[in-house]
């Protein structure tokens, strides 16, 4: 009996310890504080329309960030997310005359293929992934422009595209539904499949993973394919906000995606992070930007805050991760 | 007879090694020949000047980036420093000189006075930001990719806030156009400046302790620490120099255009990394030479120039730059693997 | 009376989980060579690192010529006249020989410009003094192992130290090179330098030392003065302590079954520069030990057997099937797995939890009908092995980085047990593991042997092999030079150590 009490007490202590070291938990607290303080100073924050808007925008960057998370989990990086987004949008956009469904299918397939190209370069050429994706970022981005001769493709005749970005299902914006579904599915896949487990192990220790019999090349290529797919999925949601596909739509998204993933507690050194964390990261990120916009600080302050937040949060994570003693 | 054959073999081995060691110079040479063949205006005066100004701007950034990469770090903030340095310097100068009653900005956004102070402040602020990057990197143990990415956001946001998104014109500022538009004995002064900086860095790395510190910090940090070297200090120095180089590059850019744009330099961080990699600097640290970076700057700028001359639109250029980055990085990865 | 050159008093040093030094005293006089001997982990390298300012002692005092000093970093050590050659040369491979020799001690003209010419001359002079001709403009990565060692020695010699520490410098050298080096060391001694020499080859030690300090478990347990009469056996006896053979009974007697089934057969297995002509057969339920010094090629041999590296020549048969593994997965699929000597770098994902580490190689067998991970089954399996191996962890959800070395090691073993491999290769099973956990790991390995698994065990601690193994192969310079069976009289620590530590076998490279 007494043993059980002690064990219980120990569990409680462990739980408290674990929570304090859990990035997702820390972020959750931060987000809650942001919401509370924000709603006091900026009452319009809590209005339904505003919150839905925050959710919608968070979903778009969040989707791309989920892919980024998976790549970071295997201990690599993907700087080509923005360009994959542009190029896959464009290839789909060129098909839009055949209907929205074929176009969207082509978009997704392009995303996956481009992701695989990244993965193959990283694993077969054995080049640092930062370099590979820096290169493919240029190449894919250039191809997107070449394919459309720099022109926009308008989507007024493609209601499905517009619905994806602006529609509602049961009062919830469609992007939010897509974002959460993809997030939950990937989160479950990471937890409950062999590949998911192997992604974490590979990221945590590549050599040990290899010696343990994991095909680390296959795992890395898979991660890049996922990243390509989520970037491609985020594209149409973004396009429909402006009714058009442009070949530069994704520019800069790679850095936002990485920032959100890192904000969500994903480690740059691999093997650490969760999709749920990234979802929270996207929400916190967008919420803060929204508060700043509403309080009239000006859109440019958003940039400053984005950078500041990124550095500060990573420093906080670094501090809580320091081993005791 | 036998000895003759041996010496002949010896010679041929040397010449292969010679080509290998000077690959970049050969590529540059080939490129020049191609340029002459492909375009009649390639050797025209105005074309050469336009190559040289780009070479200076990108080359300076790439030298700074190379120093950071030599200590096994990366600096994504160099492009943002190019805008923030001048914008902040002008804003600060305005405040400082207003105390003595001098108004340096008239008509909303025409800078008319205070050049010397502005130049000094650009260099100081740029270097300071580099040092700040380095200090956060080594003190908080945050990866440099994150630190400098965050800094990129912060600086570009601050640039907008300070400038309101408007350009600042230097057309009425006496002396402002000198650096970007004057020639000495028909050589642009900015190019002379670039070569001076380049040669100075090469000499300092080769002939002073600084080079040994930087190469050992990046090459084998443990060996450096065991020898009593303060590797953290040298990382901060490398970041500081990178910031300083970005500041100089910003001076050239703004002087050339006689304006300060809020978005100047955006995206240049990636070009600077590309040049460093083409020049043989690797992300593994401690490898490569600044001479390579300088030649690589020329290779990239001349190639971009040739591509425009033959009428290729910008989009193809980005594709080709991307392929070159991958090609150069895999070439280095491959040659390292074969030597190991 | 003259003060001793170096005097250490009651030095203590603790690393997380390990008490490396527990009250060490040492006196080094001018013009003397003091050798430190002891088994691996006895604290020799820790002590030399403290003298060189790599890390400070937890307590204790250091006196140089009678003055109490604090050696806070390597530069201070250098100023005090301490030169050190580390066990694994710490050189910047990307830099040239001369740059390495003068790292952080560059010569300058007028304080700014490097004096390249003089540094080159000085480097060549030092190398010439050491009896080697190396192109000083070559990058260190292009040098041979021997040359690297020489550069490391030159680096330490450069400042003309009063105290020189040589930590296992003779390991990669051949007999001629060692003789030459010893001549130099003796010259230096005769010129008044105090030298601390750390080594494994006892013949060498006896030949060169003025006195021999014997270390055991972080303490110096005795001092021997070399003479004609001093034998290697006496040194070994002191290294091991009076408790020689005490825990032998922990080892079970060899289980000689009637029919012996061959599980692994190697014929002339060779890998250039690492090992050559390895021939041996492993039977089911047998444990074979490999004894040898660091760098003898055993680790690489084991790695080849799982496919972590590939062998060059020879034949390998697993249960009569000829194999050549291209990657570690091939080895695992054939039923062979290695517990590497560096569990943190090669065995574990420290930031993941216990169950994830145990199950990583067996996920294929832990799926349900939907091809998803059967979490219940995974938990059960992990808990089963945590219990069976008595891994001390609050739960299977604990991060591996929070566990002690011994428990981490057990997790690596559990990974292969869950995978149900036939042959387990264990390289230094108890490195950095405390005594209690050591015994548990022996028991665990014995238990698996008795369950019909076959084991190959490599360890610098002979006692460990005596406990677990049915026979022991002794490897020197990549060749098997002797085999000792459990039922022969040579099956004891002293005899095996004297084969390993004898100077007759040098690298033939």
Q: Is the pLDDT at C289 greater than 50, yes or no? A: yes
CB-CB under 8 Å, A207 with C346: yes
Chain B contacts of C99, Cβ < 8 Å? Answer: 212, 215-216
Three-state secondary structure string covering C213-247: EEEECCEEEEEECCCCCCCHHHHHHHHHCCCCCHH
The answer to whether A199 and A274 have CB atoms below 8 angstroms apart is no
CB-CB under 8 Å, C375 with A204: no
Listed by start position, the domains of chain C span 6-240, 250-301+308-335+421-509
Contacting chains of C (3 CB pairs or more, <8 Å) are A, B
Token digits for A229?
């797919």
Task: Give the strand order in the sheet containing C6-15.
Answer: C18-28, C6-15, C59-64, C67-69
Contacting chains of A (3 CB pairs or more, <8 Å) are B, C
CB-CB under 8 Å, B154 with A308: yes
User: Which residues, in sequence order, are CB contacts of A83 under 8 Å at separation 6+?
Assistant: A136, A137, A138, A139, A140, A141, A144, A250, A251, A254
CATH tag, C250-301+308-335+421-509 = 3.40.50.300
pLDDT at residue A210, as a whole number: 95
pLDDT at residue A308, as a whole number: 83
Chain B contacts of C103, Cβ < 8 Å? Answer: 212, 216, 223-224, 227, 229
pLDDT at residue C120, as a whole number: 92
CB-CB under 8 Å, A303 with B274: no
- How does residue C435 score in pLDDT terms, banded at 50, 70 and 90? low
C381 interfacial to chain A (CB closer than 8 Å): no
Chain C contacts of B218, Cβ < 8 Å? Answer: 94
Domain A58-320 matching CATH 1.10.3470: the answer reads yes
Nearest CA in chain A to C415: A212
- How does residue C509 score in pLDDT terms, banded at 50, 70 and 90? very low
Nearest CA among A105, A62, A52 for reference residue A230? A62
pLDDT at residue C423, as a whole number: 94
Domains of chain B: 43-339 (1.10.3470)
Per-residue pLDDT tens over the stretch A271-299:
989 999 999 999 988 888 888 888 777 66
Three-state secondary structure string covering chain A: CHHHHHHHHHHHHHHHHHHHHCHHHHHHHHHHHHHHHHHHHCHHHHCHHHHHHHHHHHHHHHHHHHHHHHHHHCCCCCCCHHHHHHHHHHHHHHCHHHCHHHHHHHHHHHHHHHHHHHHHHHHHCCCCHHHHHHHHHHHHHHHHHHHHCCCCEECCCCHHHHHHHHCEECCEEHHHHHHHHHHHHHHHHHHHCHHHHHHHHHHHCHHHHHHCCCCHHHHHHHHHHHHHHHHHHHHHHHHHHHCEECCCCCCCHHHHHHHHHHHCCCCCCCCCCCHHHHHHHHHHHHHHHHHHHHCCCCHHHHHHHHHHHHHHHHHHHHHHHCCCC
Q: Is the pLDDT at C49 greater than 80, yes or no? A: yes
pLDDT at residue B1, as a whole number: 38
What's C400's DSSP letter?
Answer: G
Task: Give the strand order in the sheet containing C219-224.
Answer: C82-85, C163-167, C194-198, C33-37, C211-216, C219-224
Token digits for B229?
């070297």
Nearest CA among C278, C260, C261 for reference residue C269? C278
Q: Is the pLDDT at C1 greater than 90, yes or no? A: no
Per-residue pLDDT tens over the stretch B274-320:
899 989 898 888 888 999 999 999 999 999 899 888 888 778 878 88
Chain A contacts of C341, Cβ < 8 Å? Answer: none
- How does residue A323 score in pLDDT terms, banded at 50, 70 and 90? low
CB-CB under 8 Å, C394 with A208: no
Three-state secondary structure string covering C179-194: HHHHHHHHHHHHCCCE
Inter-chain CB pairs, B–C, below 8 Å: 71
- How does residue C467 score in pLDDT terms, banded at 50, 70 and 90? confident
pLDDT at residue C246, as a whole number: 41
pLDDT at residue C249, as a whole number: 42
pLDDT at residue C218, as a whole number: 83
H or E segment to which residue B212 belongs: helix B209-219
Q: Which of C74, C91, C106 sits opposite B220 (nearest CB)?
A: C91
What separation in angstroms does the CA of A276 have from each of A26, A27, A266, A286, C225? 13, 11, 10, 16, 67
Q: For residue A153, list its beta bridge partners.
A: A245
Residue with tokens 């076959």: C454
Candidate from A40-44, A100-104, B212-216, C94-98 with smallest mean pLDDT? A40-44
In whole angstroms, give the CA distance from residue C498 to residue C467. Answer: 18
Q: Span A12-39, mean pLDDT?
A: 75
Token digits for B138?
């080594």
CB-CB under 8 Å, C75 with B207: no
Neighbouring C-alpha atoms within 13 Å toward the C-beta of C492: 13
A21 interfacial to chain C (CB closer than 8 Å): no
pLDDT at residue C493, as a whole number: 82
Identify the residue with better confidence: C188 or A187: A187
Chain C contacts of A19, Cβ < 8 Å? Answer: none
Per-residue pLDDT tens over the stretch A23-32:
778 888 888 8
Question: Rg (Cα) of chain A, in Å, rounded?
Answer: 21
Pairing of strands C6-15, C59-64: antiparallel
pLDDT at residue A18, as a whole number: 65
Q: Over pLDDT 90: what percentage of chain C?
A: 34
CB-CB under 8 Å, C93 with B212: no
**What rounded mean pLDDT belongs to chain C?**
85
User: Which residues, in sequence order, are CB contacts of C181 under 8 Å at separation 6+?
Assistant: C130, C131, C153, C169, C170, C173
B140 interfacial to chain A (CB closer than 8 Å): yes
How close is the nearest chain B Cα to the Cα of C440, in Å? 35
Chain B contacts of C95, Cβ < 8 Å? Answer: 212, 215-216, 219, 286
Superfamily of domain C6-240: P-loop containing nucleotide triphosphate hydrolases (3.40.50.300)
C347 interfacial to chain A (CB closer than 8 Å): yes
H or E segment to which residue B69 belongs: helix B45-70
Chain A contacts of B317, Cβ < 8 Å? Answer: 142
Angle between helices A81-94 and A129-148 (to 10 degrees): 30
The answer to whether A231 and A79 have CB atoms below 8 angstroms apart is no
pLDDT at residue C241, as a whole number: 67
How close is the nearest chain A Cα to the Cα of C404, in Å? 14
pLDDT at residue C100, as a whole number: 92
Please report, in angstroms and rounded to a whole number, the separation of the first and last CA atoms in chain B.
35
Token digits for A7?
């064990």
pLDDT at residue C424, as a whole number: 93
Nearest CA among A153, A163, A114, A182 for reference residue A248? A153
Task: Give the strand order in the sheet containing C275-283.
Answer: C275-283, C262-271, C313-318, C321-323
Q: Is the pLDDT at A12 greater than 60, yes or no? A: no
Nearest CA in chain B to C140: B219
The answer to whether C310 and C325 have CB atoms below 8 angstroms apart is yes
Chain B contacts of C94, Cβ < 8 Å? Answer: 215, 218-220, 286-287
Per-residue pLDDT tens over the stretch A124-141:
888 889 889 988 998 999
What separation in angstroms does the CA of B302 have from each of B24, B27, B55, C181? 13, 11, 8, 56
B156 interfacial to chain A (CB closer than 8 Å): yes
Chain A contacts of C409, Cβ < 8 Å? Answer: none
Nearest CA in chain A to B323: A135
Q: Is the pLDDT at C110 greater than 50, yes or no? A: yes
Chain C contacts of B223, Cβ < 8 Å? Answer: 90-92, 100, 103
pLDDT at residue A307, as a whole number: 81
Chain B contacts of A315, Cβ < 8 Å? Answer: 136, 140, 142
Q: Which of C329, C347, C351 sits opposite A215 (nearest CB)?
A: C329
Inter-chain CB pairs, A–C, below 8 Å: 77
pLDDT at residue A234, as a whole number: 94
CB-CB under 8 Å, C116 with B208: no
Q: Is the pLDDT at C336 greater than 50, yes or no? A: yes
CB-CB under 8 Å, C361 with A213: yes
Q: Which of C327, C348, C394 sits opposite A208 (nearest CB)?
A: C348
Per-residue pLDDT tens over the stretch B217-227:
998 888 888 88
Q: Is the pLDDT at A157 greater than 90, yes or no? A: no
pLDDT at residue B143, as a whole number: 86
B155 interfacial to chain A (CB closer than 8 Å): yes
Angle between helices A253-263 and A48-73 (to 10 degrees): 90
Q: Is C259 exposed, middle or buried (0-12, 13-18, 19+ CB in 10 A)?
A: exposed
User: Are C6-240 and C250-301+308-335+421-509 equal in CATH topology?
Assistant: yes
Residue with tokens 């005097």: C7
Cβ neighbours, 10 Å, residue C258: 4
B160 interfacial to chain A (CB closer than 8 Å): yes
pLDDT at residue A15, as a whole number: 63
Cβ neighbours, 10 Å, residue C70: 11
Q: Span B24-34, mean pLDDT?
A: 90
CB-CB under 8 Å, B218 with C90: no
B220 interfacial to chain C (CB closer than 8 Å): yes
C345 interfacial to chain A (CB closer than 8 Å): yes
Per-residue pLDDT tens over the stretch A212-266:
999 999 999 999 999 999 999 999 999 988 888 999 888 878 888 988 998 888 9
User: Which residues, in sequence order, are CB contacts of C221 under 8 Å at separation 6+?
Assistant: C214, C215, C238, C241
Q: Span C99-117, mean pLDDT?
A: 87
CB-CB under 8 Å, C90 with B222: yes
What separation in angstroms does the CA of C64 have from each of B226, C28, C57? 21, 10, 16
Identify the residue with better confidence: C350 or C227: C350
Token digits for A244?
């058009």
pLDDT at residue A127, as a whole number: 83
Per-residue pLDDT tens over the stretch B40-64:
888 888 899 999 999 999 999 999 9
The answer to whether B295 and B73 have CB atoms below 8 angstroms apart is no
Identify the residue with better confidence: A68 or A315: A68
Q: Is the pLDDT at A207 greater than 90, yes or no? A: yes
Nearest CA among A224, A256, A258, A222 for reference residue A238? A256
Neighbouring C-alpha atoms within 13 Å toward the C-beta of C10: 3
Q: Span C165-177, mean pLDDT?
A: 80
CB-CB under 8 Å, C360 with A212: yes
Q: Is the pLDDT at B10 greater than 50, yes or no? A: no
Q: Over pLDDT 70: what percentage of chain C?
A: 93
Q: What is the ipTM of this complex?
A: 0.83
Q: Is the pLDDT at B4 greater than 70, yes or no? A: no
- How does residue B2 score in pLDDT terms, banded at 50, 70 and 90? very low
The answer to whether C307 and C328 have CB atoms below 8 angstroms apart is yes
Q: Span C71-92, mean pLDDT?
A: 86
What separation in angstroms does the CA of B1 have from each of B4, B6, B10, C248? 5, 9, 14, 70
C415 interfacial to chain A (CB closer than 8 Å): yes
Q: What angle do CA A241, A247, A253 make, to 5 degrees?
A: 65
In whole angstroms, give the CA distance from residue B259 to residue B177. Answer: 9
| CB interface of A with B, residues 280-319, below 8 Å | 298-311, 314-315, 318
A143 interfacial to chain B (CB closer than 8 Å): yes
Task: Give the strand order in the sheet containing C454-458.
Answer: C336-339, C423-427, C454-458, C287-291, C471-476, C479-485
Per-residue pLDDT tens over the stretch C319-333:
989 999 999 999 999
Candidate from A149-163, B42-56, C352-366 with smallest mean pLDDT? A149-163
3-state secondary structure of C195: strand
- State the Cα torsion A263-A269-A273-A275 to the nearest 10°: 80
Candidate from A1-5, A177-181, B94-98 with smallest mean pLDDT? A1-5
In whole angstroms, give the CA distance from residue B106 to residue B102. Answer: 11
Q: Is the pLDDT at C421 greater than 70, yes or no? A: yes
H or E segment to which residue B27 belongs: helix B23-38
Per-residue pLDDT tens over the stretch C215-262:
887 888 888 888 877 877 788 778 776 543 444 444 444 445 456 789
How close is the nearest chain A Cα to the Cα of C331, in Å? 8
């Amino acid at each position: 009996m007494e043993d059980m009490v002690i064990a219980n007490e120990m569990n409680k202590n462990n739980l408290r310890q674990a929570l304090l070291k859990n990035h997702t938990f820390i972020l959750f607290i931060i987000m809650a504080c942001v919401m509370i303080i924000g709603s006091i100073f900026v009452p319009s924050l809590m209005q339904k329309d505003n919150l839905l808007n925050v959710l919608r925008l968070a979903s778009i960057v969040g989707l791309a960030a989920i892919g980024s998370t998976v790549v970071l989990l295997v201990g690599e990086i993907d700087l080509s997310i923005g360009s994959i987004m542009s190029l896959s949008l464009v290839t789909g956009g060129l098909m839009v005359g055949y209907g929205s469904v074929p176009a969207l299918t082509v978009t997704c397939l392009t995303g996956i293929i481009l992701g695989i190209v990244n993965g193959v370069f990283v694993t077969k050429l054995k080049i640092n992934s930062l370099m590979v994706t820096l290169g493919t970022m240029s190449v894919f981005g250039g191809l997107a422009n070449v394919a459309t001769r720099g022109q926009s493709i308008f989507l007024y005749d493609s209601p499905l595209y517009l619905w994806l970005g602006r529609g509602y299902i049961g009062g919830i914006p469609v992007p939010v539904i897509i974002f959460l579904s993809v997030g939950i599915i990937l989160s479950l896949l990471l937890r409950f499949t062999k590949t998911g487990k192997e992604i974490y192990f590979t990221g945590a220790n590549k050599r040990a993973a290899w010696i343990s019999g994991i095909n680390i090349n296959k795992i890395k290529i898979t991660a890049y394919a996922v990243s390509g797919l989520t970037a491609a999925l985020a594209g149409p949601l973004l396009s429909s906000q402006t009714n058009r596909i442009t070949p530069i739509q994704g520019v800069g998204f790679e850095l936002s995606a990485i920032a959100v993933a890192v904000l969500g507690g994903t480690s740059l050194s691999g093997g650490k992070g969760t999709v749920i964390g990234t979802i929270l990261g996207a929400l916190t990120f967008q919420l803060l930007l929204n508060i700043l916009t509403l309080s009239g600080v000006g859109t440019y302050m958003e940039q400053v805050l984005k950078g500041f937040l990124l550095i500060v949060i990573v420093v906080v994570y670094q501090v809580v991760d320091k081993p005791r003693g | 007879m036998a000895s003759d054959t041996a010496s002949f073999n010896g010679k041929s081995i040397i010449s292969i090694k010679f080509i290998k060691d000077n690959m970049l110079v050969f590529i540059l040479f080939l490129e020049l020949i191609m340029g002459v063949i492909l375009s009649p205006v390639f050797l025209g005066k105005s074309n050469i000047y336009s190559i040289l100004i780009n070479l200076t701007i990108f080359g300076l950034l790439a030298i700074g980036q190379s120093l950071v990469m030599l200590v096994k770090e990366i600096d994504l903030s160099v492009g943002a420093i190019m805008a923030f340095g001048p914008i902040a310097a002008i804003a600060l100068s305005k405040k400082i000189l207003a105390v003595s009653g001098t108004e340096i900005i008239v008509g909303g956004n025409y800078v008319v006075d205070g050049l010397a102070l502005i130049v000094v402040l650009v260099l100081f602020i740029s270097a300071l930001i580099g040092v700040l990057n380095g200090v956060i990197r080594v003190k908080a143990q945050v990866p440099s990719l994150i630190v400098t990415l965050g800094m990129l956001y912060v600086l570009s946001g601050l640039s907008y806030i300070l400038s309101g998104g408007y350009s600042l014109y230097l057309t009425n500022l006496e002396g402002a156009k000198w650096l970007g538009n004057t020639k000495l004995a028909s050589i642009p002064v900015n190019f002379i400046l670039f070569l001076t900086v380049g040669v100075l860095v090469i000499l300092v790395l080769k002939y002073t302790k600084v080079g040994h510190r930087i190469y050992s910090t990046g090459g084998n940090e443990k060996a450096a620490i065991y020898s009593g070297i303060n590797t953290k200090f040298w990382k901060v120095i490398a970041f500081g120099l990178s910031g300083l180089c970005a500041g100089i590059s910003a001076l050239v850019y703004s002087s050339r255009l006689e304006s300060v744009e809020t978005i100047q330099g955006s995206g240049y961080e990636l070009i600077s990394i590309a040049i460093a990699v083409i020049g043989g600097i690797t992300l593994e640290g401690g490898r490569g030479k600044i001479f390579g970076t300088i030649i690589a700057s020329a290779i990239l700028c001349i190639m971009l120039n040739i591509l425009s001359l033959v009428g290729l639109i910008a989009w193809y250029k980005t594709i080709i730059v991307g392929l070159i980055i991958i090609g150069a990085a895999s070439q280095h990865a491959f040659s390292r693997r074969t030597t190991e | 009376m003259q003060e001793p050159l170096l005097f250490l008093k009651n030095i203590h040093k603790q690393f997380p989980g390990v008490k490396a030094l527990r009250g060490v005293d040492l006196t080094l006089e001018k013009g003397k060579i003091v050798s430190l001997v002891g088994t691996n982990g006895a604290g020799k390298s820790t002590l030399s690192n403290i003298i060189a300012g790599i890390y400070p002692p937890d307590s204790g005092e250091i006196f140089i010529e009678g003055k109490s000093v604090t050696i806070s970093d390597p530069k201070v050590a250098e100023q005090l006249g301490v030169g050190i050659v580390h066990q694994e040369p710490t050189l910047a491979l990307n830099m040239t020989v001369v740059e390495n020799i003068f790292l952080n001690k560059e010569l300058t003209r007028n304080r700014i410009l490097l004096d390249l010419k003089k540094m080159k001359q000085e480097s060549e002079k030092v190398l010439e003094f050491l009896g080697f001709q190396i192109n000083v403009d070559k990058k260190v990565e292009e040098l041979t192992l021997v040359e690297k060692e020489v550069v490391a020695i030159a680096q330490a010699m450069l400042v003309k130290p009063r105290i020189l520490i040589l930590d296992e410098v003779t390991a990669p050298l051949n007999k001629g090179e060692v003789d030459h080096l010893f001549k130099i060391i003796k010259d230096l001694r005769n010129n008044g330098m105090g030298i601390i020499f750390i080594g494994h080859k006892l013949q060498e030690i006896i030949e060169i030392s003025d006195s021999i300090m014997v270390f055991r478990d972080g303490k110096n347990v005795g001092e021997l003065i070399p003479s004609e009469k001093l034998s290697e056996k006496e040194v070994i006896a002191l290294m091991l302590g009076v408790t020689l053979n005490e825990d032998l009974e922990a080892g079970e007697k060899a289980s000689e079954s009637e029919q012996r089934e061959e599980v692994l057969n190697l014929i002339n297995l060779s890998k250039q520069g690492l090992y050559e002509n390895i021939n041996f057969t492993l039977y089911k339920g047998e444990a074979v030990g490999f004894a040898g010094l660091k760098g003898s090629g055993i680790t690489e041999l084991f790695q080849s057997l799982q496919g972590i590296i590939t062998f060059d020549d020879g034949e390998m048969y697993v249960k009569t099937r000829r194999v050549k593994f291209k990657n570690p997965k091939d080895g695992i699929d054939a039923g062979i797995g290695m517990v590497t000597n560096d569990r943190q770098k090669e065995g574990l994902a420290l930031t993941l939890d216990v169950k994830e580490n145990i199950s990583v190689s067996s996920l294929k067998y832990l799926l349900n009908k939907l091809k998803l991970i059967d979490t219940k089954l995974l938990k059960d399996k992990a808990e089963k092995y945590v219990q069976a191996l008595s891994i001390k962890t609050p739960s299977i959800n604990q991060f591996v980085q929070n566990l002690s070395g011994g428990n981490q090691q057990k997790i690596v073993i559990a990974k292969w047990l869950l995978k149900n491999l036939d042959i387990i290769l264990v390289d230094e099973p108890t490195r950095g593991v405390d005594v209690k956990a050591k015994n548990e790991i022996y028991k665990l390995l014995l238990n698996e042997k008795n369950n019909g698994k076959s084991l190959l065990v490599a360890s610098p601690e002979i006692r460990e092999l005596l406990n677990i193994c049915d026979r022991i192969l002794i490897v020197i310079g990549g060749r098997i030079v002797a085999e000792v069976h459990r039922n022969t009289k040579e099956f004891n620590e002293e005899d095996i150590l004297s084969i390993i530590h004898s100077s007759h076998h040098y690298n033939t490279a």
